[in-house]
Structure 1
């Protein structure tokens, strides 16, 4: 039989090769053995073909005759032209050598597997597939032993075809043909699975399919909207990856080779290929795991879709989802935008007061000059933020123009805002960092009961602003360039305090083709802005309050506001009025105390008289009296010296366990249905105490609560400060699950199942008690 090869190609040489080159090529090819899965018969057949090619080309006379025939065949004209001849014998050739102008050589039947192996080594993958499948489809020619031992030959051909599929898939992968690559790999895998052969090769194919998956997702999702089936396939592959990883910020593996950082950048890259509705469905599902990143992305999708479609109900859902993030991260700027779009201007102002994003705040204040509030600046900022940082991440909104004026003029929006029930400023779960680091000193952050632009908020509720009022603010806003967005990015969720983000290289193509046969490590985000880069997020389920994002005195070129820069407290009249009212109250309290003392003395006197009368009659003991010994107390009374010594001594592991358990119990009570905050004072101090008291107040105002299930896995470390014996640190593993209820109804999107995390608690000892001052998720 004849195969479409020539002796020069068998040795991997050009026709001009010298005798020395022929000898070296033959030696090298003979030493380069094929994969160990091949049979001895296949390896021997390959060597026979190498030896035959070298024997012909190393003999000058044979080589001259072969070259003449080879050149005539290569450059010969059409058969019907004069001077042409053909040396092929189609009856003896393989199916693929029907082209009379393709060089070919005669081989013995038992050399077929060797010839296929050489074609594979030469990169003729499609030719190998065509030839190999021909013989696999006609098993009768193999079973009669024509090509050698049937079982051995069959296995060798299966292996060669599977390897051709593997290499062809890798070649197509390098060329950016990701779906074609997947089809080639899946064909090889299916063949091996069907025959139950070569598990090692099957593993290699499966590994490449896993690594190829991110590229396929991007290629499929980038197709036009009309390609419904293909885009649905892309979403299915994406959900498989998310399931295997345990979520967007999960730590399990999907075998793609992407670590947490790479995968977050991959998610950021594919967002521009998804519509707002697709992102809303996807990320709301992922937020239920729970996932801080998915919750934040779901908020973006709800905001974008709610604004674009003039559906404030979606924006209100986004606002509720921010409640959970607000307890761990500074998302007050997003909360302010949500409140604005819902016409809740007082809540928007209060959220701005709690925000630590100073650059946007400076922009908002600058563009609100001459106005009694920050509404004009916030309107301008919100419009620009939606246009430049929200809409571009949705394929159906990227080219759409943002107009707050048109949004508030919409009749559907007006009707919803007018019917929206009044909500107190505390009803939306504003919760932020408890302090700001300024020159290394911590200062308490103004809470909800403080002031917004010189006006006290938190003591009353204001109805939502009408669409007309907001339209006037929009129309009167100055048109200047907005400040750079400094709002919380997805990368900061769960890493409270992290200031750094990794810039993502720009890329105009869907994916970056791999430089080698390994995929996905080259995937980068299309958006080159640092604020859009994604970093790993470790969601804190144990409930430590958010660490404030520490800032130096100069942050991003802007001076961090000092206390004197903040709006002044207008409380003079309230203080004097309160002093006038305090006098009659004090007299009333003193009167009550006097009556109580008189009653106590009367009761004691009556008791003494009764006791004296009973003594005169003799003692009367009842049966079953407790066995009380007069030489020792009923209960162990601690020695005052021992107590003082323990209070002043180092923190033990048992005491650390008690501290953590006390905190978890206090948290469950404060954020539970009764919102009992009394226990917080017994375990928290400084900023942590103010933070969680505010969180409990916010939940109570929004008619929401949480039902927790806590457990302490272990106390891993207890360390005392080398400088101050009244300071210590606890490293503990804590598990927490929570069911979140709003208006008595369970909200699955804000609830989460049990998950173990490591938390570091910073403690301070005051009045003989260890109190938690700060918490940090490791």
Structure 2
């Protein structure tokens, strides 16, 4: 079989690599072993290919011939190779140095396949690993496919020792491909790659630890997949159904939206709630109602509240008041633990129950909403005009945007109440609509059951009774005549002494002609009723205490003035008494323990100015004059390692090097950073430093030599993926040659004295 590899890629070196770099690369690759799941035969196979590469490239004559063939294949316009997969002939080198280029690629035996796949995987050629490895597994017909193995029977191939290693390599390549797709935001493709590797291991019943690793990634990927699938157009029914099934599985494993179960996604409760909030934008109102109604039965307060929003949205948009009534019943359960009076008021408004809407609103603690409603109702005897305007804005801004099928809907109460389906339902509501289970909670009201009446399609006059309360607490009832609107159903109609402004007229309802009134009108949202149908009002009575006593100050201006002066006098007396006590205590203290007398000029300390200059936190620490101390040397080395971490880190902050390096050393490290940036690689460092010695002389205080032991843990990243082969944990003894420049120490050059690998 031929593999698209060349000796330089096997060693991970460019064509211009020196002999020293060749030896170092070979040493590094030999000691870097693959995962512990691989067999010793797989490791041996990999080692053989590394040895073949170093043998050819270490011989000057063979390397020269190889380079000619290499360049001919790379730059041959007729060739089929690219710089990312250069394939050259390697078995044709004779002792006399002549070459015979049979074709592109490396000829390998069956035993060397695992080693070649391992090297390709280390180079990040995951797709190529899958392409080359899968044919060596069983095909659809159960027969073994792949070059050099066609002569084997199925049973013979299954017994070959390299088969588990090939399966492992392909599965790991699928794992890495899935992670790459995940990073690129292709979540379904990522899941497909991960599931391919997992299915292969499950089918072969091999490597449970790798299967667990793939399964963990699949669980963490699920929220991303759900968002991607449900964001698809609604015509993609199969894909969106799959997303809903995944969501249901996650909810079951967590035990609900606010459950404490572990779905292996890594999302805590707060993160999952944010995920659900984000998910709502991709769900229709019907989908949300189905999901959250089911979840509310766990029970779940969060799911109940979200179900309420879905019911209100569908009820208003689809002209189904029955759904709004169902939402109000769910709010009644929520009202035992939280303030949902504003939502209850809006539901009552949409059900045409203005009295209940007003009373629910009075109990709400939503101060911003109440302020808006009062402002828009200041010319009205009640808050219904403002409540209607707020309701329209609430539906448009707070409800509809969370449903993908309603995001562009307009909220018009006028059109809602003019709908025949809405009229029919409201007319068919039970007459006793204010039963005990639908009354406003947390406040005592004494009122009789109100009868809701709705207009007929004819000219008629509805009779209402307006209730007002006098100063002595008596309730007066005054009949009010309101003309009903004929032909079409009227939107909410309010009786006011002055007209609402133009904006409110357009957004709220038409104002019917009526006699002016001075207090709240107890009427129905429809603005008309059956003829001569009186509505009984709630009469509030003052309760007298069992043992009433005459008040000390009557409820008059004179009594209130006397009370204010008494409070002011008491407060003034307390202040004077406190001043006298503190003065007396201070005098006694100075008498028995006088304060020390300070001599000479005193230090002037002000709160707005520091007693000594405060240095700029961004300024470089200045080195003290004289010989370099061990403490300063420690700071210099730490400063260098910090600059190194920033320069070679993900942001490649190359400017930080100029603060600590000079001369050729600075140029060298700037070139390294630039190369890493161009190759899209970076490192993450963790350092510990111990200064072993500091050498300097009295005659030359501006130069010093520092020996330090540095433990360096480096994580190497290629294209955003960690490269375990290049990562390391080493302890090195380094010699730094320092020079003082502008009152600060800089590193002129450095050299490694010895190096050991940490376990």
| TM-score of Structure 1 vs Structure 2, range by shorter chain | 0.5 to 0.7
Q: How does 1:181-580 map to 2 (within 5 A)?
A: 181-423=190-432, 425=434, 427-429=436-438, 447-449=443-445, 458-463=447-452, 470-473=491-494, 478=501
User: 2:552 — aligned with what?
Assistant: none
Q: Distance in 2 between matches of 1:409 and 1:61?
A: 95
1:257 is paired with a residue of what secondary structure? coil
Residue deviations 1:149-199, cap 9 Å, x none? 944211111111111111111111111111011111111111111111100
1:248 is paired with a residue of what secondary structure? coil
Paired residues of 1:343 and 1:465 also in contact (CA < 8 A): no
1:25 Cα deviation after fit: 1.5
User: 1:509 — aligned with what?
Assistant: none
User: 2:38 — aligned with what?
Assistant: 38
1:459 Cα deviation after fit: 4.2
1:366 Cα deviation after fit: 1.4
Question: Aligned pair 1:70/2:74, yes or no?
Answer: no
User: 2:54 — aligned with what?
Assistant: 54
1:229 Cα deviation after fit: 0.3
Q: Distance in 2 between matches of 1:149 and 1:397?
A: 58
Paired residues of 2:260 and 2:269 also in contact (CA < 8 A): yes
Residue deviations 1:595-637, cap 9 Å, x none? xxxxxxxxxxxxxxxxxxxxxxxxxxxxxxxxxxxxxxxxxxx
Paired residues of 2:341 and 2:364 also in contact (CA < 8 A): yes
1:109 Cα deviation after fit: 3.0
- What is the root-mean-square deviation in Å for CA atoms of aligned residues? 3.4
Q: How does 1:634-673 map to 2 (within 5 A)?
A: none
Q: Distance in 1 between matches of 2:350 and 2:444?
A: 20
1:55 Cα deviation after fit: 1.8
Q: Distance in 2 between matches of 1:386 and 1:275?
A: 15
Question: Aligned pair 1:119/2:112, yes or no?
Answer: no
1:139 Cα deviation after fit: 3.1
1:142 Cα deviation after fit: 8.2
| Cα pair distance change 1:134/1:575, threshold 3 Å | closer
| Cα pair distance change 1:215/1:353, threshold 3 Å | same
1:22 Cα deviation after fit: 1.7
1:371 is paired with a residue of what secondary structure? coil
**TM-score (normalised: structure 2):** 0.56
Paired residues of 1:379 and 1:473 also in contact (CA < 8 A): no
1:370 is paired with a residue of what secondary structure? coil
User: 1:155 — aligned with what?
Assistant: 164
| Cα pair distance change 1:298/1:350, threshold 3 Å | same
**TM-score (normalised: structure 1):** 0.55
1:65 Cα deviation after fit: 1.0
| Cα pair distance change 1:150/1:8, threshold 3 Å | farther
1:398 is paired with a residue of what secondary structure? coil
Q: Which one scores higher on RCO, CA 8 angstroms, separation ≥ 6?
A: 1
Residue deviations 1:216-260, cap 9 Å, x none? 000000000110000000000000000110000100011111110
Q: Distance in 2 between matches of 1:344 and 1:164?
A: 65
1:78 Cα deviation after fit: 2.3
Paired residues of 1:49 and 1:114 also in contact (CA < 8 A): yes
Residue deviations 1:648-682, cap 9 Å, x none? xxxxxxxxxxxxxxxxxxxxxxxxxxxxxxxxxxx
Which of residues 141, 144, 152 in structure 2 aligns to 1:139?
A: 144
Q: Distance in 2 between matches of 1:145 and 1:47?
A: 29
**Unaligned runs of at least 5 residues, structure 1:** 81-85, 93-99, 435-446, 450-456, 482-569, 580-778
Deviates more, 1:103-112 or 1:29-38: 103-112
User: 1:105 — aligned with what?
Assistant: 106
Residue deviations 1:692-750, cap 9 Å, x none? xxxxxxxxxxxxxxxxxxxxxxxxxxxxxxxxxxxxxxxxxxxxxxxxxxxxxxxxxxx
2:206 is paired with a residue of what secondary structure? coil
Instruction: Give 1 or 2 for the bigger CA radius of gyration.
Output: 2
Q: Distance in 2 between matches of 1:423 and 1:156?
A: 77
Q: Distance in 2 between matches of 1:357 and 1:187?
A: 53
1:346 is paired with a residue of what secondary structure? helix
1:464 Cα deviation after fit: 5.9
**How many residues align structurally?**
459
1:372 is paired with a residue of what secondary structure? coil
Q: Distance in 2 between matches of 1:51 and 1:90?
A: 13
Q: Distance in 2 between matches of 1:473 and 1:90?
A: 94
Residue deviations 1:379-399, cap 9 Å, x none? 000100000010000000001
Deviates more, 1:355-364 or 1:325-334: 355-364
User: 1:533 — aligned with what?
Assistant: none
User: 1:499 — aligned with what?
Assistant: none
Q: Distance in 1 between matches of 2:87 and 2:174?
A: 33
Q: Distance in 2 between matches of 1:428 and 1:573?
A: 24
| Greater helix share, structure number | 1
Paired residues of 1:168 and 1:184 also in contact (CA < 8 A): yes
**Unaligned runs of at least 5 residues, structure 2:** 81-85, 93-100, 456-487, 505-537, 548-759
User: 2:722 — aligned with what?
Assistant: none
Q: Distance in 2 between matches of 1:122 and 1:468?
A: 75
Q: Distance in 2 between matches of 1:392 and 1:322?
A: 21
User: 1:659 — aligned with what?
Assistant: none
1:139 is paired with a residue of what secondary structure? coil
Q: Distance in 2 between matches of 1:573 and 1:3?
A: 97
Residue deviations 1:251-308, cap 9 Å, x none? 0011111110110000000101000011111111111111111110000000000000
Q: Distance in 1 between matches of 2:543 and 2:170?
A: 89
Paired residues of 1:73 and 1:101 also in contact (CA < 8 A): no
Q: Distance in 1 between matches of 2:232 and 2:218?
A: 20
User: 1:625 — aligned with what?
Assistant: none
